[in-house]
Structure 1
Amino acid sequence: MDNPEHTIILQSMTEQPHVLIVGGGLNGPALALALAQGGKRVTVIDALPQDVRQADEFDGRAYALALASQRLLSAIGIWARINDHAQPMLEIKVTDGHAGRGPSPFWMHFDHAEIEEGPMGYMVEDRYLRRALIDAMAENDAITLLDGQSVVAQTVSPSGVSVTLEDGIEITGDLLAGCDGRTSGTATRAGIKRSGRDYGQTALVCAITHEKPHHGVAHQFFMPPGPLAILPLTGNRSLIVWAEKTELAQQINALDDHNYLEVLRPRFGDFLGELGLEGKRFTYPLNLTVANALIAERLALVGDAAHGIHPIAGQGLNAGLRDVAALAETVILAARRGEDIGSIQVLERYQQWRRFDMATLVTATDMFNHLFSNDNPLLRAGRELGLGLVNALPPARRAFIREAAGLTGDLPRLMQGKTI
């Protein structure tokens, strides 16, 4: 049966949308805003109800945004909405070691003062970023949001692409963007297969309060079962992303809060004083899943729908936003030249732009996880030597800092903080 509310919304559209976006998490709305800024009409279809996405309470989720991602959010009008809630990452300390034994004497220290651009990145809580994106879409007449609706079918013709919603409504556009995650139905319906594997690790994610200030320092502690990231939030709080072998992670997550912290403390150390939990605790399995193609006829994949990677370097959302910037620039420039934005010739430019960067990131995160998530004496000695060597060489250290800030490679205009 048709949903009357959605029928009214669709009847109010004076013109057919140029782009249909499936997925209203973070990448989908960012893409919608970037395209609308370039004159495109966009419809965003999201399976979750809007009130769920706009929840005010802190649920423990937050994101490490590289400087280039912050520039994109500024260029599409989002950063001003969340700036007061963002915590700059001023330093990153990378160490190797064992839980309860302290870090290795060989480590890397990255300081934002070594580059001219400013902080390497920012930590932003999910509740602020998600709500800012939804509010900005609601204020933009070129964007229509259909929430609480799933896509059940999609068809392609020479003149356009159509999606059918679960209530039977059909919407047609020139281009379909799949921003619907690692199990992307958009990719599956287009016949795009995936490659990857399970890491046998599960991430435990939570936010903690601590007695002492973090001073904007992010920590990455590599342990044999998997890495532990301690990422600064506003106030005396930090986000924890802690990878363990799956069986042990499930046992830890089943503990009550007190015993959970007892397991975390020897891994975390005492450098921030007493610890407490804030918000919910999460787990998610760690795997590698990469689409074998980023495009099909009148279709492009973005974010986790294109590449789901290990969180070892915190680059998942940043990679997705780089997809957003590249696809928006490709589409908007093609439209200005009078080209069909859904043509395979146009979409191939997006795929070529993103293919090398994506392959490099996938390879790097996969290699780092294998190199550091083990207790092989030879590998441990090699990686400790490597950490110490990079730290002792200022040019190498600055190169890593610029990479962490997302300032390397062929940057789309939005990642430079420029409009298209």
Structure 2
Amino acid sequence: MDNPKRGRILRGMRNTSDILIVGGGLNGPALALALAQTGHTVTLIDALPRDLRSSDAFDGRSYALALASQRLVDQIGVWSKVADKAQPMLDIKVTDGRSGQGPSPFFMHFDHAEIEDGPMGYMIEDRYLRRALRDAMEATDAITLIDAQTVVAQRIDHSGVTLTLASGETLRGGMVVGADGRRSGTAERAGIKRTGWDYGQTALVCAIEHQLPHHGVAHQFFMPAGPLAILPLSGNRSSIVWSEQSARAKAIQNLGDAEYLSALCPRFGDFLGEISLAGDRFTYPLNLTLANDLIADRLALVGDAAHGIHPIAGQGLNAGLRDVGALAEILTEAKRRGEDVSSPLVLERYQQWRRFDTASLAAATDAFNRLFSNDNPLLRLGRDIGMGIVGAIPGMRQTFIREAAGLTGDLPRLLQGRAI
């Protein structure tokens, strides 16, 4: 018989765990590991096959882990597996301008040396982080993995949750966590509504190789059509997240590689020398989508299932890992006190902790995008002066640096670098 930890269960088998997690991206596995470390049994259901999750091929996707998020990854036992492949972000430069005309003379420059905590964050390729999380789950007895399966029904009763998979198998648990993205089936089946809107923008995502070293500097260049982020990877490579109006983005994505680079180069400039594509190219439609509730009966949402925001500040994954840290801490403390971890009182503590932070982050990213993604001369003057003021005042710079590093607000213990 196949080991169910390796991705299969017998037809009709009822697998009992304390917590069922739907979603095998990054937040779901991180939560599974955090909970398993504190005595919970977990079953994680992933819609994708194991081979795809475990592939080590470079496809161009990467993540910006804030310093606080890196501390969580370390606390759940994964950072040591990827540290040598991560690129520290030492400086962040924020500029305003137009394609082909260079940046405005007003800018913000954030240097990690202005705080004592270390780099503001790290860039890590998807293939390394994803595989390290997977390997750690497979090595953890308290976690059962089910691959290549989708949940088609969920039923809540007085004693727990029953999930039905597309294969017909059923799973039983004390509660369910939806970590299944912006179109969360877990939230939809629970009747949780969403609020949001489309930005009319699409993110073009790729990785590039460049002639000159980046020195660990991340760049955010605001242009009328949308922001361009240039994020340092290990070696002479960088990750590109390039926002355009959706029709224009579709036309650019349909170009061949040479023409694609020709469209990128006027926006990118020549400060890193000659550039070439590395890995695949992706597009992601940009929208704001917030779950009206983060919890329901015996259910909680984390990551994009709870809040999908604009990538303008690279905070999507970091916000999800704050959810992970907060939910793991709430459930673990409740378990130690002998409470029913899925009770409304326990889950409401999670919602109260995370609701204000996620709403504030969504509002801030929305406002930044609206302020900078236009060519209004009055708004341009105001934001350029504002950046100049922030860049010139040390106290304001340090506040922005700590915000970028994820060190502000009511941090869960894991994001402080402490065990639960």
Same fold (TM over 0.5): yes
The residue aligned with 1:327 is: 327
Cα distance in 2 for residues equivalent to 1:213 and 1:344: 52
Deviations 1:337-373 (A, max 9, x none): 0101111110000000001110110000000000000
Amino acid at match of 1:233: L
Asked if 1 retains the 8 angstrom alpha-carbon contact of 2:227 and 2:243, the reply is yes
The residue aligned with 1:97 is: 97
Shift of 1:46: 0.6
Amino acid at match of 2:26: L
The residue aligned with 2:8 is: 6
Amino acid at match of 1:179: A
Identity over aligned residues, as a percent?
Answer: 70
Amino acid at match of 2:160: G
The residue aligned with 2:280 is: 280
Cα distance in 1 for residues equivalent to 2:350 and 2:356: 11
Shift of 1:6: 3.1
2:267 is the counterpart of 1:267: yes
The residue aligned with 1:126 is: 126
Cα distance in 1 for residues equivalent to 2:413 and 2:10: 37
The residue aligned with 1:184 is: 184
Secondary structure of the residue aligned to 1:419 is coil
Secondary structure of the residue aligned to 1:25 is coil
Amino acid at match of 1:408: T
Deviations 1:11-32 (A, max 9, x none): 696xx21000000000000000
Shift of 1:104: 0.1
The residue aligned with 1:221 is: 221
Cα distance in 2 for residues equivalent to 1:302 and 1:109: 32
The residue aligned with 1:165 is: 165
Amino acid at match of 1:304: D
The residue aligned with 2:136 is: 136
The residue aligned with 2:310 is: 310
Distance of aligned partners of 1:259 and 1:64 in 2 relative to their CA distance in 1, 3 Å threshold? same
Amino acid at match of 1:7: I
Distance of aligned partners of 1:356 and 1:320 in 2 relative to their CA distance in 1, 3 Å threshold? same
Shift of 1:127: 0.1
Q: What is the TM-score when the length of structure 2 is the normalising length?
A: 0.98
Cα distance in 2 for residues equivalent to 1:157 and 1:12: 16
Amino acid at match of 2:394: P
Distance of aligned partners of 1:155 and 1:144 in 2 relative to their CA distance in 1, 3 Å threshold? same
Structure 1: tracts of 5 or more residues without a match: none
Cα distance in 2 for residues equivalent to 1:175 and 1:400: 38
The residue aligned with 2:60 is: 60
Asked if 1 retains the 8 angstrom alpha-carbon contact of 2:34 and 2:76, the reply is yes
Cα distance in 2 for residues equivalent to 1:392 and 1:135: 46
Cα distance in 2 for residues equivalent to 1:175 and 1:385: 50
Secondary structure of the residue aligned to 1:36 is helix
Secondary structure of the residue aligned to 2:338 is coil
Deviations 1:149-196 (A, max 9, x none): 100000101111110011111111111000000000000000000010
Distance of aligned partners of 1:10 and 1:141 in 2 relative to their CA distance in 1, 3 Å threshold? farther
Shift of 1:9: 9.9
Distance of aligned partners of 1:33 and 1:385 in 2 relative to their CA distance in 1, 3 Å threshold? same
Amino acid at match of 2:8: H
Cα distance in 2 for residues equivalent to 1:59 and 1:106: 35
Cα distance in 1 for residues equivalent to 2:87 and 2:228: 19
Amino acid at match of 2:100: G
Secondary structure of the residue aligned to 1:379 is helix
Per mean C-alpha deviation after superposition, the further-off stretch among 381-390 and 166-175 is 166-175
Deviations 1:109-151 (A, max 9, x none): 0000000000000000000000000000000000000001100
Deviations 1:366-389 (A, max 9, x none): 000000000001100000000000
The residue aligned with 1:27 is: 27
Asked if 1 retains the 8 angstrom alpha-carbon contact of 2:183 and 2:305, the reply is yes
Asked if 1 retains the 8 angstrom alpha-carbon contact of 2:108 and 2:387, the reply is yes
2:337 is the counterpart of 1:337: yes
Amino acid at match of 1:401: I
The residue aligned with 1:415 is: 415
Equivalenced residue count is 416
Structure 2: tracts of 5 or more residues without a match: none
Matches within 5 A, 1:206-217: 206-217=206-217
Secondary structure of the residue aligned to 2:17 is coil
Secondary structure of the residue aligned to 2:35 is helix
Deviations 1:234-254 (A, max 9, x none): 000000000000000001111
Amino acid at match of 1:132: A
Deviations 1:209-233 (A, max 9, x none): 0000000000000000000000000
The residue aligned with 1:205 is: 205
Cα distance in 1 for residues equivalent to 2:120 and 2:377: 33
The residue aligned with 2:250 is: 250
Cα distance in 2 for residues equivalent to 1:91 and 1:6: 45
Asked if 1 retains the 8 angstrom alpha-carbon contact of 2:13 and 2:171, the reply is no
Secondary structure of the residue aligned to 1:397 is helix
Cα distance in 2 for residues equivalent to 1:115 and 1:19: 39
Cα distance in 1 for residues equivalent to 2:53 and 2:206: 19
Cα distance in 2 for residues equivalent to 1:247 and 1:103: 25
RMSD: 1.4
Cα distance in 2 for residues equivalent to 1:227 and 1:135: 35
Distance of aligned partners of 1:201 and 1:12 in 2 relative to their CA distance in 1, 3 Å threshold? closer
2:361 is the counterpart of 1:361: yes
Cα distance in 2 for residues equivalent to 1:279 and 1:359: 34
Amino acid at match of 2:51: D
Amino acid at match of 1:32: A
